[in-house]
Amino acid sequence: MTVAARPQPDTLPGELLMWVLILSELLVFGAGFAVLLGLRLTDPPGFAAAQVRLDQPVAAANTALLITSGWLAARGLAAARSGAAARCRISLLAAALLGCGFLILKAHDYAALADQGIGMESHPFFTFFFLLTGFHAAHVAAGILLLIGVAWSAQPAGVEVATAFWHMVDLIWVLLLPVVYLL
């Protein structure tokens, strides 16, 4: 008697714990975005007036930086898998460098708002703006350290975890951009 072959269930790529982290982070940020949009209902003109003070070109430049660093990270992983350690290191360090560029632009963004006398308590919109973008920037900083950390060994398993974290940071930013800067 033969046992009918059962279809293989979907297997998540990479580390399961990394997916747990990605889902948790998406839920936390998603809740923050929903609360921001919900609060906006209480004072649409006030939120719109606050939002126009943001520097949208800087946000667009930061998006291009993160997307490009994600591309470099993906190239780094492909290089690690093919055993090209030097190419992997260069790609990951370049991705980390662009991450540093993101943080510099973000600091410039905060400084420009501070020059206008805007802080966390200026308006509920800015409370959420600084909390959400600041929390995201902390993730960028952690991602930079991870990328630099795994670049040295260029082992596929470590690179896979670090680049997955980096793509998560990228993913959160592309969702943050419309909610915080545009809507």
Shortest distance, position 117 Cβ to another protein, whole Å: 25
Instruction: Determine, following the binding rule CB under 8 A, whether residue 46 of this chain makes contact with another protein.
Output: no
**One residue of 55, 63, 97, 100 binding another protein per CB under 8 A:** 63
Give the long-range contacts of residues 123-129, CB within 8 A, separation 24 or more. 123/46, 123/47, 123/50, 124/39, 124/43, 124/47, 125/36, 125/39, 125/40, 125/46, 125/47, 125/50, 125/51, 126/50, 128/32, 128/35, 128/36, 128/39, 128/180, 129/50, 129/54, 129/180
Binding test (CB under 8 A) with another protein, winner from 17, 41, 86, 111: 41
Q: Which is nearer to another protein, 22 or 112 (CB)?
A: 22
How far apart are alpha carbons 148 and 142 in whole angstroms?
Answer: 10
Residue pair 93/150 in contact (Cβ under 8 Å)? The answer is no
Report the residue number, 2 or 8, with the smaller CB distance to another protein: 8
DSSP for 43-61 reads: -HHHHHHHHTTS-HHHHHH
Among 20, 34, 107, 157, indicate the residue that binds another protein (CB under 8 A).
34
Q: Are 150 and 15 in contact (CB under 8 A)?
A: no
Q: How many residues sit close enough to another protein to count as binding (CB under 8 A)? A: 42
Mask for 78-97, x = binds another protein (CB under 8 A): x-------------------
CB of 109 to another protein, least distance (A): 16
Q: Which positions lie near another protein, rule CB under 8 A?
A: 9-14, 22, 30, 33-34, 37-38, 40-41, 44, 47, 56, 60, 63-64, 67-68, 70-71, 73-75, 78, 163-164, 167-168, 170-171, 174-175, 177-179, 181-183
